[in-house]
Amino acid sequence: MTTHCQSQAHLARLHRGHPGPSARPPRKVCSRLVDPETLKTEIRRLGPWHHEIEVVPGVSTSIARDEPYPEQYGRVTFLDWRDSFRSKMLSLYPGGLRERSVLDCGCNCGECLFWSKELGAGRCYGFDARAHWIAQGRFLIEHSQLQSDDVTLEVHDLYEVPSLGLEPFDVVLFHGLLYHLPDPITGLRIAGDLTKELIVVNTATVTGHPDGLLMLGKEGQTQLLSGIYGLNWFPTGPEVVARILAWIGFAEWKLLWWHQEVEPGRGRLELVASKIPGSLSSATRL
């Protein structure tokens, strides 16, 4: 098994400064290659996966899609997000992330942090309440071609994060977490207080009500993609999220998109907010 890997991008940075956003994941220089069959067995064992990731050329997490997993895990949707994440971040930072630090709250397997590294991010930290997802992320750090220097993944509940004493981050990702929380206002505040520059919030919404409300949800605690408390709330629109962010100290916000009904009774939106006035001018509505 691989014991030591160092990314080419890291080597490039040492030799000629920051490499900027690259179109393809830079290949790691690994001291020993993992046997492909062992790799595939591990990918299946660690499933189900929520994200399509190319682990090494020709082998992706999609190989685990047809595996049977325990019913209590619930339905785990399978997303292929890399391109849309890249477009979004490049619309916000046309020159790439240029060593900006990135925090991902409810990071799942850390996919957005690996993609942020491809865009030139510096220190990256992700946490998720479930060991299942962090085990996947650590496997990717250890055995994939993804750039992962200075990427840390830990099992933490959002509400314990203030006690960790983390240094604030330039960019904070809050994808798919808001509507899994018993107290979304405190949850967003924890993330907002750790943000120096920009936060991206992607959340489900509830349809059929005026924007401005938090509606009680109903979810279990054992499904891998759910919250862990059994109490959750859905915002009825972007105004809810934006007003909380303004209260936390964000100077401006922009709605990137809002699909008001993606399934019966549920919509989805993504917005960005910045603490630096004027910095969202390049953000395009996607």
- Residue 12: Cβ within 10 Å count: 15
Of the candidates 93, 125, 133, 234, which one interacts with ligand SAM according to CB under 6 A?
A: 133
Segment interacting with ligand SAM, rule: CB under 6 A, options 7-15, 52-60, 125-133, 265-273: 125-133
Q: Which of residues 56-115 bind ligand SAM (CB under 6 A)?
A: 106-108
Which tokens is 107 given?
Answer: 């990071």
Taking the C-alpha atoms of residue 45 and residue 34, their distance in angstroms, rounded to an integer, is: 16
* Residues between 207 and 266 with contacts to ligand SAM, criterion CB under 6 A: 225, 227-228
User: What is 84-133 written as a DSSP string?
Assistant: HHHHHHHHH-TT--TT--EEEET-TTSHHHHHHHHTT--SEEEEES-HHH
Looking at the chain, the number of H-run helices and the number of E-run strands are 7, 13
By CB under 6 A, which span of 34-42, 122-130, 205-213, 249-257 interacts with ligand SAM? 122-130
> What is d(CA 18, CA 9) in angstroms, rounded to the nearest whole number?
9
Cβ distance to ligand SAM smaller for residue 54 or 98: 54
Distance, in Å, from the CA atom of 270 to the CA atom of 259, rounded to the nearest integer, reads: 9
State the nearest-atom distance from the C-beta of 79 to ligand SAM, in Å. 6
Nearer Cβ to ligand SAM, position 19 or 176? 176
Please report how close the Cβ of residue 10 comes to ligand SAM at its closest, in angstroms: 25
For residues 254, 92, 54, 38, the Cα torsion angle rounded to the nearest 10 degrees is -90
C-beta of 18: minimal distance to ligand SAM in Å?
A: 26
Tokens of 111: 């996919």
Taking residues 9 to 48 in sequence order and writing x for each that binds ligand SAM by CB under 6 A, - otherwise, the string is ----------------------------------------
Q: Are 269 and 239 in contact (CB under 8 A)?
A: no
Residues touching ligand SAM, count (CB under 6 A): 17
Which position among 10, 28, 50, 138 is part of the footprint of ligand SAM (CB under 6 A)?
Answer: 50
Among 5, 9, 124, 177, binds ligand SAM (CB under 6 A): 177
Nearest residue to 173 via CA among 261, 285, 278, 97 = 97
Among 46, 158, 172, 188, binds ligand SAM (CB under 6 A): 158
**CB of 102 vs ligand SAM, minimal distance in Å:** 13
Residue 275: CB partners within 8 Å, gap ≥ 6?
A: 195, 196, 197, 198, 249, 250, 251
Q: Verify binding: residue 130, ligand SAM, rule CB under 6 A.
A: yes
In the complex with ligand SAM, the residue whose CB is nearer, 96 or 227, is 227
Nearest to 148 by CA among 174, 171, 172, 116: 116
Binding-site ranges for ligand SAM (CB under 6 A): 50, 106-108, 128-130, 133, 157-158, 175-177, 180, 225, 227-228
